[in-house]
Amino acid sequence: MHLDPFELHRPASVGEAVELTRKFGPACDLLAGGTDLLPNYKMHLNVKRHLVALGDVAELRTHSLERIGAMTRLGELERDTAFRATYPGLAEAIGEVATPLVRASATVGGNLLVETRCFFFNQSYFWRDSLGYCLKADGDRCHVVPQKERCYATFSGDLAPALGVLNASIEIAGPTGLRTVNVLDLYDAAGDGIRRHHLAEGEIVTAILLPDSARRVRSTYRKLRIRPTFDFPELGIAASLDLDGSRVRALAIAAGGLETYPKRFDEFTAPLVGAPLTAEAITAIADQIMRSVRPVYNTFLAPDYRKRMVAVYVRRALEHLSGVRAEAAG
Amino acid sequence: MERGPAGSIRVNGQSYDRPFPPERILLDLLREDFNLTGTKRGCDLGTCGCCTVWIDGVPTLSCLTLAALAEGHTITTVEGLSSPSELHAVQRAFVERGATQCGFCTPGFIMTAAALLRDQPHPSREEITKAISGNLCRCTGYSKIIEAIEVAAAGTG
């Protein structure tokens, strides 16, 4: 498969990258590791005339325990033993992304901004041409939930939920300078599902910032997929827990692979703060979260199964973090 | 920005000066322009690992690498892994253990396994399985491949 012609731009600094992104606006894409964008370009999905490759921007490629440059390769973090020991849940999520070969090129920033996925989108041009194009590429209707207003393609990154339960922030550079947002506030939950983040024109994600609290909590990430390698998440559950004896000091649960954006379930976890994390509490929260989600039929596994597995994965994650054995919910 | 001619690209210790456009994929450049057809085109989407080459010693999917971004880096393909007269230990073990059936995926496995043993001379079976989890084989069922890597690691091939 050959790529359609484009112009390749190789900025050497964040400032240059911002200027190019602002200049070309919707006519350009950022190229990080290329493991998501280039397959999509090969399928002729939303190809742009300009590519801004970020690999030469040295300041995006460094990482420490507090700050991960957006162009840090997942494979680099995987080999960093101090990083793995400090953030076990995040390390699990990184190790679950695709394959070691993909992780050699794939970046942290790229995984946060990975394109949403759908049966009717991730197909060749000929396949899509035969059915009729979809709202997300070349067409005007959604084939999953038939209507013309909203795209239901699924958020398929593994890192966002894992970073979300650690209260990580995202550093964003733009024409007016730097700003910082909570990682899950990067995503547009209320939009049309096609524009999947809140980045303004000319803005690029430059780093992930991990707070002190992320080094105190226990965390884990559980991924549902058909093959134990390569597959995108049919469901990804991240959880973090800080216990004071048997009582909850802090608890966060987040999911990917269910909706168009990764989400946290604070409305269900907040009431548990200060209370003991019992088997009954784990079962109840797993059930509540399961009942709140509405996956649609646009990935390989049936939505009803994915929904039921939410309860199982939440329960398993909390059992792992707390050592409490709970009953199966649902 | 310029659309070719690009600068030179260094493959298996040799510099190639050939103009290519920015959308040229490294795999296509290796196979079609440089005739290095040991690197295979499988899925062409990053799933199968048949196109694995080393970029600065790191096993990388050449089907998802823009050739322009490989400039200035050292590329090694299966043709450059050993001398024409002598097989690499991993290649020898694959031959001796019958780890090849149709052979299409073999170069990718060889490049992944050779890098593993270079960095980790005595991996466990679990570490081998994890390392090759990005390389797909439709024939062997993987047992012979894993055995061959173990034989190469033990130096008993």
Domains for chain B: give ranges and CATH numbers.
Answer: 8-80 (3.10.20.30), 89-154 (1.10.150.120)
What does residue A189 show for φ and ψ, rounded to 5 degrees? -80, -25
Please report, in angstroms and rounded to a whole number, the separation of the first and last CA atoms in chain A: 45
Amino acid, res. A262 = P
**Residue of chain B minimizing CA distance to A227:** B133
Residue A329 pLDDT class (50, 70, 90 cuts) = very low
Tell me whether A229 touches chain B (CB under 8 Å): yes
Say yes or no for a CB contact (<8 Å) between A7 and B1. Answer: yes
**Residue of chain B minimizing CA distance to A123:** B45
* Same domain membership, residue A181 and residue A127: yes
Alpha-carbon span B72 to B30, nearest angstrom? 15
The answer on pLDDT for B156 being more than 80 is no
Per-residue pLDDT tens over the stretch B128-153: 999 999 999 999 999 999 999 999 99
Q: Is residue A294 assigned to a domain? A: yes
Residues in chain B with CB shorter than 8 Å from the CB of A5 are 3, 21-23
Residues in chain A with CB shorter than 8 Å from the CB of B138 are none
* Same domain membership, residue A206 and residue A68: yes
Alpha-carbon span A321 to A328, nearest angstrom? 16
Pick the last residue of a domain from A194, A212, A230.
Answer: A212
Report the residue from A8, A98, A101 with minimal CB separation from B22. Answer: A8
Tell me whether B134 touches chain A (CB under 8 Å): yes
Say yes or no for a CB contact (<8 Å) between B66 and A38. Answer: yes
CA distances from B115 to B53, B76, B120, B153 (A): 10, 11, 8, 12
Report the residue from A4, A34, A51 with minimal CB separation from B64. Answer: A34
Q: What value does the mean pLDDT take over residues A77-102?
A: 97
Q: What value does the mean pLDDT take over residues A71-91?
A: 97
Report the residue from A3, A39, A101 with minimal CB separation from B23. Answer: A3
Instruction: Tell the residue number behind the tokens 């995503």, with chain if given.
Output: A187
Residue A196 confidence (pLDDT): 84
* Same domain membership, residue A229 and residue A207: no
**Residue of chain B minimizing CA distance to A75:** B58
Report the residue from A10, A31, A100 with minimal CB separation from B133. Answer: A100
Amino acid, res. B144 = K
Say yes or no for a CB contact (<8 Å) between B3 and A4. Answer: no
Sheet holding A235-244, edge to edge: A218-224, A235-244, A247-256, A263-264
Q: What is the DSSP letter of A276?
A: B
* Same domain membership, residue A202 and residue A255: no
**Boundaries of domain holding A178:** 61-212
* Same domain membership, residue A172 and residue A88: yes
Residue A328 pLDDT class (50, 70, 90 cuts) = low
Alpha-carbon span B17 to B10, nearest angstrom? 9
Residues in chain A with CB shorter than 8 Å from the CB of B23 are 2-6, 8
Q: In A268-303, which positions are buried (b, 16+ CB within 10 angstroms) versus exposed (e)?
A: bbeebeeeebeeebbbbbbbbbbeebebbebbebeb
Q: Is residue A314 assigned to a domain? A: yes
* Same domain membership, residue A264 and residue A173: no
Per-residue pLDDT tens over the stretch A148-171: 999 999 999 999 999 999 999 999
* Sequence-ordered list of residues with C-beta below 8 angstroms from that of A21, at least 6 positions apart, any chain: A28, A30, A52, A201, A202, A203, A204
Q: Is residue A239 assigned to a domain? A: yes
**Residue of chain A minimizing CA distance to B130:** A100
Say yes or no for a CB contact (<8 Å) between B61 and A101. Answer: yes
* Same domain membership, residue A225 and residue A144: no
Alpha-carbon span B135 to B116, nearest angstrom? 13
Tell me whether B126 touches chain A (CB under 8 Å): no
Residues in chain B with CB shorter than 8 Å from the CB of A23 are none
How near does any CA of chain A get to the CA of B96, in Å?
Answer: 26
3-state secondary structure (DSSP) of residue B13: coil
Are the beta carbons of A45 and A118 closer than 8 angstroms?
no
Residues in chain A with CB shorter than 8 Å from the CB of B131 are 100
Q: Which of A194-198, B6-10, B112-116 has the lowest mean pLDDT?
A: B6-10
What does residue A245 show for φ and ψ, rounded to 5 degrees? 70, -120
Alpha-carbon span A1 to B59, nearest angstrom? 21
Q: Where are the strands (E) in chain B, listed by range?
A: 8-11, 14-17, 52-55, 58-61, 74-76
Per-residue pLDDT tens over the stretch B10-56: 999 999 888 889 999 999 999 999 999 999 999 999 999 999 999 99
Q: Is residue A43 assigned to a domain? A: no
Report the residue from B22, B64, B130 with minimal CB separation from A38. Answer: B64
User: Which CATH number is A279's domain given?
Assistant: 3.30.390.50
Report the residue from B1, B58, B135 with minimal CB separation from A8. Answer: B1
Say yes or no for a CB contact (<8 Å) between A102 and B46. Answer: yes
* Same domain membership, residue A288 and residue A188: no
* Same domain membership, residue A187 and residue A65: yes
Q: For chains A and B, what is the number of CB pairs under 8 angstroms?
A: 84
Residue B16 confidence (pLDDT): 85
Q: Is residue A222 assigned to a domain? A: yes
Pick the last residue of a domain from A185, A212, A239.
Answer: A212
This prediction has a pTM of 0.95
How near does any CA of chain A get to the CA of B140, in Å?
Answer: 18
* Same domain membership, residue A177 and residue A232: no
The answer on pLDDT for B3 being more than 60 is no
Residue B72 confidence (pLDDT): 87
Q: Where are the strands (E) in A34-183, listed by range?
A: 50-53, 67-69, 169-174, 177-182
Residue A330 confidence (pLDDT): 44
3-state secondary structure (DSSP) of residue A285: helix
Average pLDDT of chain A is: 96
Per-residue pLDDT tens over the stretch B84-94: 899 999 999 99
Number of domains in chain A: 2
Q: What torsion, rounded to 10 degrees, do the Cα atoms A141, A147, A149, A155 define?
A: -80
CA distances from A142 to A118, A256, B148 (A): 10, 21, 49
What ipTM, to 2 d.p.? Answer: 0.95
The answer on pLDDT for A259 being more than 60 is yes
* Same domain membership, residue A318 and residue A254: yes
* Same domain membership, residue A253 and residue A230: yes
Which residue, among A54, A74, A101, would best test binding to B if mutated, counting the most B CBs under 10 Å from its CB? A101
